Amino acid sequence: MSGPLQLQHLPHRHVDITTAAGALLWRYVYAPHTPADEAPRPYAHPVCNLAGDVLTNFRPHDHPWHHALSLTLTSVDGVNFWGGPSHRAADGYKPRHDHGAQVHRAWLRLEATHLEESVDWCEPRTGRELLHERRTLRTALVPGGWALRWTSQLLNVSGHDLTLGNYHALGGLAGSHYTGLQFRGARDLLDDHGDATIGIRADGGAMGEAAVHGAPARWIEWSCQHDGSLHRTVIRFENLTGPLPWFVRAKNPLVAFAFHGAQSQRLSAGASLTLDHQLTFTTP
């Protein structure tokens, strides 16, 4: 598919990126109206393939804090930027009213192929900024589909060192290393299709959730077929800086770019962390 992409902007709410023919590729909601206990943050939904099939799920009933495609950090010095109940080793998952919020501050660039914004990650009670983010979102058409490159530069502006944690590292909740850029997929991504071409595979030849989850890889691919249209889509998730221990769930379709696994990550005062990922959506 050829031709320029187009941008439509509803100020103080969202941006749509469409093809020249007007087909929606993705909507970026940068001023969300989501509940405080879901850790409000900008999100992309719907995200569609070129044929118009919706690939994301926003606020699914099983985990309403899963906001389609969004950047999360499970715990920043105990502040929950993932949403939902927080886990502690002593008493498990409980609602704790410890949720942070990501606040869009300004557009630095607003073009169909290149969105760039400043986002502040704030504490729940005081609104104090812990992280300042420069977020860059690039959209490009590729053979058979399109690609979204998500780059986030996170600067520690808290004035002290921060611990970036997940519930595997913090509380010994084995396998619960979800954090980072999160893709909650539509129900169509369920991989119990009975077709060998449908499912999850990773760099190095691993196949299926059990083999892919937690195993370091540069990329994984999720192949699915859509109800109604019967179109097929392959979603490729790629970490552009090298292997990482992916978090994958097949039954509640989810992929998280878990940039750290069994150990928490320290971010020194004034230091920055760069996350650089690409998602490619193709229709075979």
Residue 1 falls inside a structural domain:
no
Residue 96 falls inside a structural domain:
yes
Residue 128 falls inside a structural domain:
yes
At 81, which CATH number?
2.70.98
pLDDT in tens, 157-212: 999 999 999 999 998 799 999 999 999 999 999 866 778 889 999 999 999 999 99
What per-residue confidence (pLDDT) applies to 10? 98
- Give the tokens for residue 29: 């909601």
In contact, 27 and 44? CB cutoff 8 Å: yes
- Regarding pTM above 0.85, the answer is yes
Give the whole-angstrom CA distance, residue 117 versus residue 136: 7
- Prior bond of 46 cis (ω within 30°): yes
Give the whole-angstrom CA distance, residue 228 versus residue 248: 26
Give the whole-angstrom CA distance, residue 113 versus residue 144: 17
Spell out, as residue ranges, where the chain has pLDDT lower than 70. Answer: 1-3, 191-192
Residue matched to tokens 């009975």: 194
What per-residue confidence (pLDDT) applies to 195? 85
The maximal CA–CA distance of the chain, rounded, in angstroms, is: 56
Contacts of 279 (CB under 8 A, 6+ apart): 69, 147, 148, 150, 183, 235, 236, 237, 238
Q: Give the number of domains in the chain.
A: 1
